[in-house]
Amino acid sequence: MDLRLRSATKDDVALILDFIRGLAEYERLSDQVEATEEKLAATLFPCEGRPAAECLLAFLGNEPAGFALFFTNYSTFLAKPGLYLEDLFVRPEVRGRGVGKALLLHLARLANARGCGRMEWSVLDWNAPAIAFYESLGARRLREWQICRLTGPALARYGTPTAPGAAAG
């Protein structure tokens, strides 16, 4: 198996979006994808400032096989950065060939190299194949934690922040 991993570049934005759409279809969330090539380019490969996330691509031969999109978070309890895996997707036709494992283990090595105290991600409760895969690698599910999310109108209603120390109007 000729499996190659590499960091994504701006030239890969269309491929990244294709993987995002494939993941959304698998998760039955296609109606929620608002990402566009322009938005991805602006947030992953900005002209100025820090990228919002990083992306790792996997190829079998010359064929795109999967991706992992991740970013740095922070653990106050450990006083260390962490690596948060936002998305991991392998095309259905190449599943079972080690692509997902290679992506995940590469990120685990990267987290260690960056001095991260942990690596985390979420998985849908119905995704038994993914859960079994993650647990086979030693991942532990934190059943006592629940994800909370503000998005769309619920987030927008709070507007923009005022500078720390500034008087609120």
Q: Which active-site residues does the annotation give? A: 134
Axis-axis angle for helices 99-113, 128-136 (nearest 10): 50
**Dist. CA 120–CA 125, nearest whole Å:** 15
Put the strands of the sheet holding 3-7 in their side by side order: 3-7, 54-60, 63-75, 80-90, 118-121
Nearest in space to 73 (alpha carbons), one of 124, 117, 7: 117
Backbone angles phi, psi at 6, to 5 degrees: -155, 155
